Structure 1
Amino acid sequence: MARFAEVFGGGPEGVVFAPGRVNLIGDHVDYNDGLVLPMPLEVGTAVAWRARDDDRVVVHAADMDDPYCAFDLADPPPRSAGWHSLAHGMVSLMQAEFPLTGGIEMLVSGDLPRGSGLSSSASFCVAVGRAVAASSGRTDVDPVRIARLAQQVEHRFAGVACGIMDQMAVAVGNPGNAMLLDCRDLSWRDVAVPQDWCVMIVQSGVTRELVDGAYNARREQCESAARKLGVASLRDVDPDTVDWTGLDPVETRRARHVVSEIRRTRLAAKAMATGDIESFGRLMRAAHVSMRDDFEASHPEVDRQVIQIDRIIGPRGGARITGGGFGGASVAVCLAEEADRVIQEIRQEHGPDGAGLEVMRAVH
């Protein structure tokens, strides 16, 4: 609010917030109609906003090197990977359904590291969408609709053919709970994180980029595999009876990850619900191996860190790369009573200053 007053003069009319998310298990299955288990974070994106009496939209992104973006409501959004396209695209799609009577000024600031696999872009889009809804006087906007529009922004303007997991976790997720989300019909249920568990996020220091084609290529490979297997999506493949012989080796690996990851997600939700942290940890470790070997969406430095974290945690918990992969962060689960020791030893593995590696607690 203070920064808004500095930039725009006078205070805002309101402030909205959208969290980031960490995915505990179930990566690269959302666009295959699969099951995922993400949870919202305390960190995220805040937007202070104030209505204007013209049709101009002015956005100041306090954390960006190029902080200003301005356009008229009627202007078509640009197509690029930058934050300008996300802001413009989200305003445009929201305006089409929840019309503004005039323009809007927004000051955007957040504490989610970009390129870390914690859904900074989804958090940004949902926060902007909430600001537009508030400015239009709508307090009844369905959060699922905001999530869908945020996904469309990624597809149409940022060029990332992402699934719906990030946006749903950000827009709909409940604090302290994981969300067992069915990405086919968007049904979900909360799975409470046990009070004696600690969920941690370890920033690898390797910036993740999804717009270089690797993410979209994985999606195309999955869709090709589904067509050859004669199913609408890989969600429909039975892992016990599937015949992989009609796929090429790359498609086989991609499909095998998706099919096995959906099964692991089901089992992980049950393990969390019953407090079985050893089973949950085994599933996390298996998920990382699958991401690394079958989906080839990990990174050597993250692989090295995950091995270290698993060794430090021991059998009561586990770690894996999280998010879209190709760098970013890993997620780890351990007993809350072990968390201080685990965090200290993770940092010691990387020298006295942590060598740029950051550890944050998502829960407890």
Structure 2
Amino acid sequence: AGELQDAGFRLTGIDMVIHSTVPIGGGLSSSAALEVSSALAFTSAAGVEVERKQLALICQAAEHNYAGMMCGVMDQYIALFGEHGVAVRLDCRSLEHEAVPLSAGTAKFIVCDTGVRHELASSEYNKRRAECQEGVRVAGRVLDSAPIKALRDVTTADLPDLEPELEPVVFRRVRHVVTENARVLEAVTAMWARNHLALGALMDASHDSLRNDYEVSCSELDTLVEIAWGQGGVYGSRMTGGGFGGCTISLVGADKVDTFCENVAHGYEA
């Protein structure tokens, strides 16, 4: 409400009850869901119309200024623009997006909750952001390409030139972001082609990078992912969200979903 009013929108007071089935701290964008649903309630009650892209940025600002989490705009944007049955490829610089159909008939995305919430998530998220900003600063000095404003401006071909110039930890953070950006584009291609094998392999590589280079996984997430990797009909699995607990997401053949859920639940409890 404060950010909406700071942006010039006049609101009215309302009584509001919030109910959600999204687990708090599960890496499923619960904070963005709260921000967006609250903003829509405030604006609806006041008879105010806000363009959706602007509303996403206002909700992002609320998380920065009130929760102290220096997040990107992806979660808020998807909460406003997401559609049933599609993935959304978002360009966070231009705020342009592409709806990519999901082949729900032959494979399903299954979310598994570790039941663990580590307090490191908020502080470590901001630390990772600072490390990436250091990578941007050094890349801008070292690379001869166009101006480096973010790690999206760095390519995998640039990594060998950057490695000797960066602290090892910062280089690993940079390598994760650069390779993950490339994996996102490859994943879009795989989804359009309905190539579950390729998409699953990218998910596996993403988890390895999040665990080893970005270092935001934890033993419980790794255990769930490794159990998933051992199941028949699983194309890929990875952690999701900010890490240090929360949920995994697995791409599973539609005819194997029930068996997968039973085996993973049993294996994780053991």
The equivalent of 2:63 in structure 1 is 154
Partner of 2:17, secondary structure, is strand
Aligned pairs for 1:142-181 (under 5 A) are 142-181=51-90
How many residues matched? 259
The equivalent of 1:254 in structure 2 is 173
The equivalent of 1:317 in structure 2 is 235
Q: Deviations over 1:253-297 (max 9, x none)?
A: 000000000000100111111110011110000000000000000
- Whether contact under 8 Å (2:223, 2:268) holds in the other structure is no
Q: Which structure has more helix as a fraction of its residues?
A: 2
User: Normalised by the size of structure 1, how large is the TM-score?
Assistant: 0.69
**Which runs of 5 or more structure 1 residues have no equivalent in the other structure?**
1-90, 356-364
CA distance in 2, matches of 1:148, 1:208: 27
Change (3 A) 1:167 1:282: same
Select 2:149's aligned residue among 224, 232, 242. 232
Aligned pairs for 1:191-270 (under 5 A) are 191-194=100-103, 195-209=105-119, 212-230=122-140, 231-242=148-159, 243=161, 244-270=163-189
Partner of 1:181, secondary structure, is strand
Q: Deviations over 1:231-263 (max 9, x none)?
A: 211101121133121101011000000000000
Change (3 A) 1:149 1:222: same
CA distance in 2, matches of 1:176, 1:208: 31
**Which runs of 5 or more structure 2 residues have no equivalent in the other structure?**
141-147
Asked whether 1:308 is paired with 2:217, we answer no
1:313 Cα deviation after fit: 4.0
The equivalent of 2:96 in structure 1 is 187
CA distance in 2, matches of 1:178, 1:265: 11
Higher CA-based Rg? 1
Change (3 A) 1:144 1:170: same
Change (3 A) 1:177 1:306: same
CA distance in 2, matches of 1:235, 1:166: 18
Paired AA for residue 172 in structure 1: F
Paired AA for residue 98 in structure 1: F
Paired AA for residue 250 in structure 2: A
The equivalent of 1:329 in structure 2 is 247
User: Normalised by the size of structure 2, how large is the TM-score?
Assistant: 0.92
The equivalent of 1:3 in structure 2 is none
The equivalent of 1:28 in structure 2 is none
CA distance in 2, matches of 1:272, 1:322: 18
The equivalent of 2:263 in structure 1 is 345
Paired AA for residue 296 in structure 1: E
- Whether contact under 8 Å (2:121, 2:244) holds in the other structure is no
1:105 Cα deviation after fit: 1.3
Paired AA for residue 137 in structure 1: G
- Whether contact under 8 Å (1:225, 1:251) holds in the other structure is yes
- Whether contact under 8 Å (2:35, 2:59) holds in the other structure is yes
The equivalent of 2:143 in structure 1 is none
Change (3 A) 1:259 1:277: same
CA distance in 2, matches of 1:329, 1:313: 20
The equivalent of 2:209 in structure 1 is 290
Paired AA for residue 93 in structure 1: E
- 329-338 or 236-245: bigger deviation: 236-245
1:229 Cα deviation after fit: 0.9
Q: Deviations over 1:69-122 (max 9, x none)?
A: xxxxxxxxxxxxxxxxxxxxxx1112343212x322111111111010011111
Paired AA for residue 135 in structure 2: A
Q: Which structure has more strand as a fraction of its residues?
A: 1
Partner of 1:227, secondary structure, is helix
- Whether contact under 8 Å (1:204, 1:329) holds in the other structure is yes
- Whether contact under 8 Å (1:112, 1:120) holds in the other structure is yes
Paired AA for residue 90 in structure 2: L
Moved over 6 A (4+): none
1:212 Cα deviation after fit: 4.6
Change (3 A) 1:209 1:144: farther
CA RMSD, 1 decimal: 1.5
Give percent identity, aligned residues only: 36
CA distance in 1, matches of 2:226, 2:258: 19
